[in-house]
Chains A and B, each alone.
Chain A
Amino acid sequence: ETGVTQSPTHLIKTRGQQVTLRCSSQSGHNTVSWYQQALGQGPQFIFQYYREEENGRGNFPPRFSGLQFPNYSSELNVNALELDDSALYLCASSPREGGAEAAFFGQGTRLTVV
């Protein structure tokens, strides 16, 4: 059983650029969530995908968008990068939407915007 894997592990981008982060969910998990964790803070929910549809969104602007593919892997896209977007981006998968199951997290992608 594979865990949640994210790529790349580290990334440096310039303000105004666009970035795509990737996540492969744990085997058997069909729900993927993305979180932003700024330095010294708890993870903040960005959005969740279930069956390739966005299923809930946190307090993030539309320049944060995502996709989920038929194999349940997912992408997070951020347009027009700002300095404040510098953070650890975490992907989490769970067996199904809703319910009591815990989410399992990847190692994260450390994004630095300069």
Chain B
Amino acid sequence: AQSVTQLGSHVSVSEGALVLLRCNYSSSVPPYLFWYVQYPNQGLQLLLKYTSAATLVKGINGFEAEFKKSETSFHLTKPSAHMSDAAEYFCAVKTSYDKVIFGPGTSLSVIP
């Protein structure tokens, strides 16, 4: 069975500071990993995905994530936070024949 944990239900950063949102997964087979963002009262938007082609994945809006098999991690980073990055971020995992399983989410606040 697969599962996802996200350390820190709420993260605050200053505008211009590094954003680091943590995600660890559990999977018995090689996983596909995703980060989604959700703005208030909206659906989920795909930020990036890892599908084994490259361990460092670049996504939209300047975000990237690195797959580390030894640490079972897929942390999301952005070098410089912008006010518009304030949102809820979800890490998710799936395997070829399973369904997408989401983590509990991390709420990102950006302080001016």
Interface residues of A (CB under 8 A from B): 4, 6, 33, 35, 40-45, 48, 56, 58, 90, 92, 98-100, 102-108, 110
Contacts and interface: CB of A to CB of B under 8 A. Distances in A.
Interface stretch (B12-20, B45-53, B60-68, B69-77): B45-53
Q: Counting chain B CB atoms within 10 Å of each CB, which of A33, A99, A100, A110 scores highest? A: A100
A100 B90 contact: no
A56 B99 contact: yes
A6 B42 CA distance: 12
A46 B80 CA distance: 36
B49 A107 contact: no
Q: Counting chain B CB atoms within 10 Å of each CB, which of A4, A58, A105 scores highest? A: A105
25 contacts: A33-B99, A33-B100, A41-B104, A41-B105, A42-B103, A42-B104, A42-B105, A44-B102, A45-B100, A45-B101, A48-B99, A56-B98, A58-B99, A90-B43, A90-B44, A92-B44, A98-B96, A98-B97, A99-B96, A102-B34, A102-B46, A105-B43, A107-B43, A108-B42, A108-B43
Nearest to A44: B102
Interface of B: 32, 34, 36, 41-46, 49, 51-52, 90, 96-105
B42 A43 contact: no
A56 B2 CA distance: 15
A106 B34 contact: no
Nearest to A94: B100
Contact of A100 (B32, B43, B44, B105): B32
A45 B42 contact: no
Nearest to B31: A100
B46 A45 contact: no
A98 B90 CA distance: 20
A28 B43 CA distance: 20
Contacts of B98: 56
Q: Nearest 6 A-B pairs (CB), nearest first?
A: A42-B102, A100-B51, A105-B43, A105-B44, A107-B43, A100-B32
